[in-house]
Structure 1
Amino acid sequence: MLLFENDNVTVTLASGVATVTIDRPPVNALNRELLGALDAAVAAAVRSPDSHSILLTGTGRRFVAGADITMLAQLDGRSAAEFGKIIQGTFNRIEAASKPTVAVINGDALGGGLELALACDIRFAVADARLGLPEIRLGLVPGAGGTQRLTEALGKPRALEMLLTGTPLRASQALDLGLVNGVFDRADLGREAFEWARSLTAGPPLAYAAAKACVRTNLTAGRDRGFLEEVKSLENLVDTADGREGVAAFLQKRAPHFRGC
């Protein structure tokens, strides 16, 4: 089923999984138009009552190469800051999506491409992918949340090593560091990512959203606020039909049937 279609982005739905595909040859570079389409595409996937998880991937042998360098060359300080706010806003909304998001890194994820992947909850990569933030080599710094999310993912020393050198990681290195959750051969990547996402289809949508909110609260507001968010989420979930169904199914030794309410 087609949920969204644009010159550069499409969203298809199958078995409860919404797949967002970026298609801007030759390297899926990000510009304002593509970011607007990506924003709308993910929103469509989140709105669909039939989607339970979201995959993000690119066409060809690239995930997303990063921001369009030709476009960047035309920016001054003010317009660069405006573009930074646009791309950060798009990626922040992806991170805040109520449904689990999975980056299917089918090729190099550099600059804005890695920043997009970092905004997703889970990351799977093809074995020959390179992941990095090479902006320092242009005399610049990442502007789409990369300095923040990479530090959250790897810690300060590793993040600064990547940021200061601009040297990309091989997929196997990224796996060892916990930057990606799995690495697969090209022939297997799409299937493995889809099956992982499909495995969430029978799960509790409200609890997925709450778990994401708890983690996000810790990262943005600190541990104490995160504890409060946990208690608030538990209070809300216990009184839902899904919460009652999950407990009843456990006591009755049967599989639960969650409905998202």
Structure 2
Amino acid sequence: MIEMTVADGVAEVVLNAPERLNAVDERAIGELDAALAEAERLADTGDVRALVLRGEGRAFCAGRDISEVDPRDDDVQGYLGGTVEPVLHRLARLQVPTFAVAHGACLGVGLGLLIACDIVYVADSAKIGSPFRNLGATLDSGGHALFFERLGAHRTMDLIVTGRLMTGDEAVAAGLFSRAFPADEVTDATRAAAHAAAAGPTLAFVASKRLIASLRDDRLGLWASMSEETRAQAALCDTDDYRDGFAAFQQKRTPTFTGR
């Protein structure tokens, strides 16, 4: 179900089970984990400098594949806590900029995969929300945190209790994700952004990624975050990209960034 290709420094990871809207079971999550582990390895060698995550067919990912799940003996803790959460952590920790293409259904674990990416470009017709009321279940994979942080308590509970799905346009207007595009343009737009990032100063991008993670997870205040920015900038001074970026500016030429 999970496929990965690498071209020009960009890894493209594809959820390829369109017949079930790319819903994922434990096997699919294991394949995704293996693909991300390989992307990590290639990032360490410099062969991957950005990553795109997308779904084949009519949807990005409709969530967990429950077609063969018996609710009487369902090990939700094992599936979510032992299988899904580690993969979301791995994706979020990748030391390259990560992009997601969100189209069609982006629900449950699918929403969690979007949350774990750095930049999410959304089809205007995408469907994002919490349909779990129909299962007697609750939103998972980080959805509560995303909605509460961006929408507040009342709008989060409205989505959860009504099960209403937001369009991609609505989700971007509400500040959930980066940009909205027509459905037939979103994949190409995301690929173009990923390739541009891969040709850029990726060490600086990753430094910002770490700072943003600290702001989110550790709740750094203004002065603490300013100190972290200073340390990050000082570390970048020792990189080839920093030196060439400055020299290129002074010499009025285009810099050549190598990720070193």
Q: 1:152 aligns with which of 149, 154, 163?
A: 149
Equivalent residue, structure 1, for 2:257: 258
Unaligned 5+ residue runs, structure 1? 1-7
Alpha-carbon offset, residue 174 of structure 1? 1.2
CA contact (8 A) 1:105 1:123 kept: yes
1:17 aligns with 2:10: yes
Q: What displacement does 1:130 show? A: 0.9
Cα deviation 1:154-212 (Å, max 9, x = unaligned): 34443333233321101221121122322223332221111111111221121111100
User: TM-score, normalized by length of structure 1?
Assistant: 0.88
Deviation at 1:117, TM superposition (A): 1.2
Q: Secondary structure at 1:29's aligned position in 2?
A: coil
1:72 Cα offset (Å): 4.6
- The answer to whether the Cα contact below 8 Å between 2:241 and 2:258 also exists between their aligned partners in 1 is yes
User: 2:88 matched to 1:95?
Assistant: no
Other structure's SS at 1:81 match:
helix
TM-score where L is the length of structure 2: 0.89
| Identity across the alignment (%) | 33
* Displacement after TM superposition at 1:125 (Å): 2.1
How far residue 115 of structure 1 moved from its aligned partner, in angstroms, is 1.8
Query: Contact 1:104–1:124 at 8 Å: present in 2 too?
Result: yes
What's the offset of the Cα at 1:9? 0.6
Match of residue 29 from structure 2: 35
Structure 2 counterparts to residues 62-73 of structure 1, below 5 A: 62-73=59-70
Secondary structure of 1:55 counterpart:
strand
Report which stretch shifted further, 124-133 or 28-37: 124-133
Check the 8 A contact 2:21/2:105 in 1, yes or no: no
Q: In 2, are the aligned partners of 1:103 and 1:124 still within 8 Å (CA)?
A: yes
- 1:83 pairs with 79, 82, 92, which one? 79
Measured after TM superposition, the shift of residue 109 of structure 1 is 0.8
The list of structure 1 runs, each at least 4 consecutive aligned residues, that deviate by more than 6 angstroms after superposition, is none
Tell me the equivalent position of 1:3: none
Question: Residues 1-261 of structure 1 correspond to what in structure 2 (within 5 A)?
Answer: 8-24=1-17, 25-48=19-42, 49-74=46-71, 76=73, 79-85=75-81, 86-224=83-221, 226-261=225-260
Q: CA RMSD in A?
A: 2.0
Deviations 1:215-244 (A, max 9, x none): 001111112454443232122111222222
Q: Name the amino acid aligned to 1:254.
A: R
Q: Deviations over 1:125-172 (max 9, x none)?
A: 223221112223322222312212333343444333323332110122
Q: Which deviates the most, 213-222 or 87-96?
A: 87-96
In the alignment of these two chains, the number of paired residues is 253
- For structure 2, the residue ranges without an aligned partner over 5 or more in a row are none
